[in-house]
Amino acid sequence: VTSAANATVKLLRSLERKKARTESGLFLAEGARLAEEGLAHGWRPAHVLAGAEAIERPKLRALLTRLRDAGARVLTASPRLLASVAKKDNPQTILTAFEHRLSQLDAWETSGPRLWVALYEIRDPGNLGTILRTADAAGADGVALLGPCCDPFSIEAVRASMGSIFAMPLALARPADFTRWTQTAGARVVAATMQGDRRHDEAAFGERCVLLLGNEQVGLPAALEAAADARVRIPMRGAADSLNLAAAAAVLIYEAWRARGFAGSRP
């Protein structure tokens, strides 16, 4: 296609808006690497927009074939059209619209040692994507989004996740349902808060643990903090009065994994 009026092009272009993502159940993944990750984790690609030069490169052509086999309709487009959909000057050579996939807390496997991350009212998609990437790198079992959060399927969140959006089980839940689930699952909730009564590295994380972090501006609500099994604070000095949320999550997730001797890490 060369025309911006094409219905699929219009659809893909609309996916920058949350409303269009919700209505279509689709989101955009930029580039060949993300498309590979999506396929590798069994996500369903609905549409692919590929630059005309993509079909001349054997590796990309093979990827397009696999995307087609997985159900995608593949359109080739001019670089200009691709740039207009991607909203940037040097777009990736392919854009893939995948179907959303969310899991339910109740469906999460709870036997054996487990590490989950729960985020309450996280607002910044870059932070969310980065936390998905960190959770994935540390072998976490899933990320729960509690209350009204930013959209994990926004282009910024997907981009910052560097493919981990496809690897990390993701559940949306109401705080009350989350608390009920942690009790049923026998999961210990370790909440990060400025008012924590012990340092994050002095916490007992237990065999099944949820690391709970709050909103960028206001942290956790009192009820969720009170329902946690432990409240920890990350030490601070200097002029900064807090850490960036994704940095705090990285410190906490790696501390919890360190407490388990970095079990399962790649050699």
Residues of this chain that interact with a copy of itself (CB under 8 A) are 37, 40-41, 126, 130, 133-134, 136-140, 160, 162-164, 166-167, 199, 201, 234-240, 242-244, 246-251, 254-255, 257-258, 262, 264-266
Nearer CB in complex with a copy of itself: 164/182: 164
Q: How far is the CB of 85 from a copy of itself (least distance, A)?
A: 24
The answer to whether the CB of 161 falls within 8 A of the CB of 129 is yes
Nearer to a copy of itself, 85 or 250 (CB): 250
Count CB neighbours of 257 within 10 A.
19
Contacts of 139 (CB under 8 A, 6+ apart): 115, 257, 264, 265
Q: Please, what is the minimum distance in Å from the beta carbon of residue 233 to a copy of itself?
A: 9
Whose Cβ is closer to a copy of itself: residue 138's or residue 187's? 138
Instruction: Give the nearest distance from C-beta 36 to a copy of itself in angstroms.
Output: 11
* Cα–Cα nearest to 81, from 140, 5, 26: 5
User: C-beta of 179: minimal distance to a copy of itself in Å?
Assistant: 27
Rounded-to-10 torsion of CA 168, 169, 170, 175: -120
CA pair distance 214, 118, nearest whole angstrom? 8
Q: How far is the CB of 131 from a copy of itself (least distance, A)?
A: 8
Q: Which is nearer to a copy of itself, 205 or 257 (CB)?
A: 257
| Strands ordered across the beta sheet of 170-173 | 170-173, 142-146, 114-120, 208-213, 188-192, 230-233, 198-199
* Residue with smaller CB distance to a copy of itself, 210 or 224: 210
